[in-house]
Amino acid sequence: MALLPILRYPDPRLHRKAALVTEVDEAIRKLISDMAETMYEAPGIGLAATQVDVHKRVVVIDVSEDKSKLFAFINPEILDRSGEQVCEEGCLSVPGIYEKVTRSERVKVRALDPQGEPFTLEVEGLLAVCIQHEIDHLDGKVFVEHLSQLKQSRIKARLAKQARITA
């Protein structure tokens, strides 16, 4: 197990598009276990490989209260979506910033599990928000890019100021 450093917005590496995993092997299982440890330690409810500078389509999520329901998604795809919900989102790559984002209320996801077996899952609520947020990361998109240009510039200014204070 290992803790992995998390990239911070506006790092250009957060905008890379992650590649499909072609073989689910020990290296991918090790990545999943390191990502889970990093997510729990942060703490966060999800983490995409892009955020730890690994540009492969791998996501971990645990939205349970007691951190007992870990999901791993390899090559996740949204097959179907319906409804709308607004959730105040945060991101481990954009620390201290919370903004409302509108996303689908329900999504049907297909992915491979850590054994390389395909599965589909229908989810709603926070788990659905989180899967959409993580798949965006794999496509090089950070949640603030759902906001207006004005909000994005304000967030960049706020983060730059924070960075000067903590430097």
Tell me which residues are annotated as active site. Answer: 134
Question: In whole angstroms, how close is the CB of 115 to Ni ion at the nearest point?
Answer: 26
From residue 21, how far is each of 8, 25, 150 by CA, in Å? 24, 10, 36
Q: For residue 83, count other CB atoms closer than 10 A to its CB.
A: 11
What's the min distance (Å) between Cβ of 82 and ligand GNR?
19
Binding region for Ni ion (CB under 5 A): 91
For residue 131, give the nearest of 81, 56, 68 by alpha carbon: 81
Q: Segment contacting ligand GNR (CB under 6 A): 11-19, 23-31, 83-91, 110-118?
A: 83-91
Per CB under 6 A, contacts with ligand GNR among 114-133 are 129-130, 133
* DSSP code for 97: -
Residue nearest to Ni ion (CB): 91
Q: Identify the residue among 44, 107, 123, 146 touching ligand GNR (CB under 6 A).
A: 44
- Cβ atoms 89, 102 nearer than 8 A: no
Size of the site for ligand GNR (CB under 6 A): 17
